Amino acid sequence: MNESRRNFIRELGLTAAFAASGCACPCKCRARPLYGLQLYSIHSIFWKDPERILAAIKTAGYDGVEFYNYNGMTAKALGGMCRNAGIKAMGTHLNGDTDLTGDSLKKTLDYAAEAGFESLVTPHAKRDSADGYRKFGCAMGQAAEAADAYGIKVGVHSTYHHFTTVYGGKTAWDLIYSEASPKLYQQIDTANTFHTGYDVVGLLKKHAGRHFSIHAKENVPTVDGVFGVPPKDGGPCVPWAEIVTCMKDDPSLKWWIVEAEGKPDSLDPAVKCLNILKSWNRG
């Protein structure tokens, strides 16, 4: 396919996207949220045939994908692979301690910029003291400040211990953000947060304006990861209606990132989740 035809197809895609959002042009009005798939959802098959699978993800209606590793690909090759599929390489998960500090930071940001990433997120981030969590938040905040010059967002991904670990009445999550730069965003994982008994809706409201992306995941242990299907242990579902309603009022949200890990050898749960999430956002 020559470059002019690629550009034509890209323009058609943009036109369709703005039409779907009710916006006639790429102006300053707020566009619809974008939908991405965390590729770890299909980690047992993705790297076996990434170009074909990216095309299938695009056909399913996704706007982008979030990586979890690069399988040795250069930034140019990885970004080009996504562009050829007509899908955005919206970001990646990485190790903040090794990739977003010291001499590694610039290397990470240069890779991200060339690949076309909008977001760099570090998961887990476990520490053994309140001061450790504060210092981690400050370090990631410094990375977020540096990334801002590239037009890239840096965030921390919430997991269970961030809400079950408490020092002096403050959760590890609160401590991470207590002294961090306001540019450090929060990638709330709905399942990881809700499963601990924490008020996920209250958390989203408390930190309104700090949610560039949200990891949409059903409560665990899930049945194939499909939204709205009760967990295998009979527990409650994530309070999707309240979350979606809450985030419709938060202009910081750009990406809903679907994570459906129940069947890592199949794209079917991710497709079902996307259709459900879109229907809720239309409601």
pLDDT tens digits, one per residue of 42-58: 999 999 999 999 999 99
- Looking at residues 164-193, what average pLDDT do you find? 98
pLDDT of residue 31: 64
The two structure tokens encoding residue 88: 């955005």
3-class SS shares of the chain: helix, strand, coil, % to 5? 45, 15, 40
Domain ranges of the chain: 1-32, 33-282
Residue with tokens 């692979």: 81
What's the CATH code, domain 33-282?
Answer: 3.20.20.150
Rounded Cα distance, 167 and 60, in Å: 44
Residue 120's contacts (CB-CB under 8 Å, 6 or more residues apart) are 91, 92, 94, 99, 100, 108, 109, 112, 143, 147, 152, 153, 154, 155
pLDDT tens for residues 201-249?
999 999 999 999 999 999 988 889 999 999 988 899 999 999 999 999 9
Residue 19 pLDDT class (50, 70, 90 cuts): very low
Rounded Cα distance, 213 and 262, in Å: 21
Rounded Cα distance, 110 and 74, in Å: 11
| pTM flag (> 0.85) | yes
pLDDT of residue 2: 45
pLDDT tens for residues 50-84?
999 999 999 999 999 999 999 999 999 999 999 99
Residue with tokens 């990638």: 187
- Please say if the pLDDT value at position 1 is more than 90: no
pLDDT tens for residues 107-155?
999 999 999 999 999 998 999 999 999 999 999 999 999 999 999 999 9
